[in-house]
Amino acid sequence: MNREELTPLELKKLNSNKALITLLSREPINVDRALRYIDYERKLKKLQTEMIKLQTWAIDNDERIVVIFEGRDAAGKGGAIRRITERINPRHMRIVALPKPSEDEQTQWYFQRYVQQLPKAGEIVFFNRSWYNRAVVEPVNDFCTQEEYEIFMTQVNDFERMLLDSGIHLVKVYMSISKKEQAKRFDEIKNDPLKQWKMSPVDEKAQELWEKYTEYKNAMFEKTNTSNSPWKIIKANRKTDARVNALNHLLKRIPYDKDIEI
């Protein structure tokens, strides 16, 4: 136990089955960690309730919303998306995580397969990696030519401007973790039989190519962090804080009728 005294409010927070399970589920017992998790659960429930209201607004008004999640491997993109979407109506939202392009797709305009995934009226689409693969992952790993990269960088702002002009709401989130935290998460994935499938050849090289990723990431921000379509960088070393902050940012960016101060 890492606490000698607890305040009445802290005792109240811990006085539930869920809190006690959280407290006793890991060793050594850590009261501060358990209290942080209880606070996280409370904040998450409040924001998820608000997310349902946002989706209802989108459905009722035929709004179209695109939410992009980018970030280094193991940055927590998938976990954040799951927490954002787990309480909303699955019939009016989609999560898109496209595989590498097929032979046919490689002959098409780069944005074409992403255009096919854009939302219909009343729908929210979450991209777990997006067209920004060509801004960072592809050039870092030599999956595209320098010419293809440069063409993308000259077209992407115009492409996003067309999305916005068509009435689509676009939210861009970048989950940022440290090199040390990425290494720690990779070790956890490799040692967990239920998560080992997440490790790809690209992931295996991520630490070695850290500085190269940084170079292309910074170039991406410099070019595409526009006033009409800005990036939100979320510090993601602590997953719970990152999930709350990502959801909070999404609620701020969409102009629905809010019931709480976001």
Nearby residues of 54 by Cβ (< 8 Å), 6 or more positions away? 250, 251, 254, 256
Strands, sheet with 64-71, edge to edge from the N-terminal-most edge strand: 93-96, 123-128, 64-71, 168-176, 231-235
Question: 174-196: per-residue pLDDT in tens?
Answer: 999 999 999 999 999 999 999 99
Higher confidence at residue 2 or residue 134?
134
Confidence at residue 257, expressed as pLDDT on a 0 to 100 scale: 87
Q: What pLDDT does residue 210 have?
A: 98
Tens digit of pLDDT for each residue in 80-94?
999 999 999 999 999
Average confidence (pLDDT) over 7-30: 59
Contact 93, 55 (CB under 8 A): yes
pLDDT at 134: 98
205-219 pLDDT per residue, tens: 999 999 999 999 999
φ, ψ of residue 46 to 5 degrees: the values are: -65, -45
Confidence of residue 4 (pLDDT cuts 50, 70, 90): low
Q: What is the pLDDT of residue 37?
A: 85
- pLDDT tens-digit readout, 47-76: 999 999 999 999 999 999 999 999 999 999
Per-residue confidence (pLDDT) for residue 165, from 0 to 100: 98
Contact 134, 144 (CB under 8 A): yes
Looking at every residue in the chain, the average pLDDT score rounds to: 91
168: pLDDT strictly greater than 70: yes
**Over pLDDT 90: what percentage of the chain?**
83
What does the pLDDT look like over 239-255, one tens digit per residue? 999 999 999 999 999 99
Q: What is the mean pLDDT of residues 210-236?
A: 98
Domains, in order of start, for the chain = 61-253 (3.40.50.300)
Residue, of 162 and 38, whose pLDDT is higher: 162
Query: What's the confidence (pLDDT) of residue 97?
Result: 97
Span 139-159, pLDDT tens digits: 999 999 999 999 999 999 999
Please give the full DSSP string across 200-259, using - where no structure is assigned: -HHHHTTTTTHHHHHHHHHHHHHHH--SSS-EEEEE-SSHHHHHHHHHHHHHHHS-S--S
- Whether the predicted pLDDT of 123 surpasses 90: yes
Q: Nearest Cα to 207, choosing from 233, 223, 189? A: 189
Which pTM value belongs to this model?
A: 0.88
State whether residue 64 is helix, strand or coil. strand
**How much is the pLDDT for 1?**
44
Q: Indicate the Cα dihedral angle 162, 108, 148, 120, nearest 10°.
A: 30
Strand, helix or coil for residue 172: strand
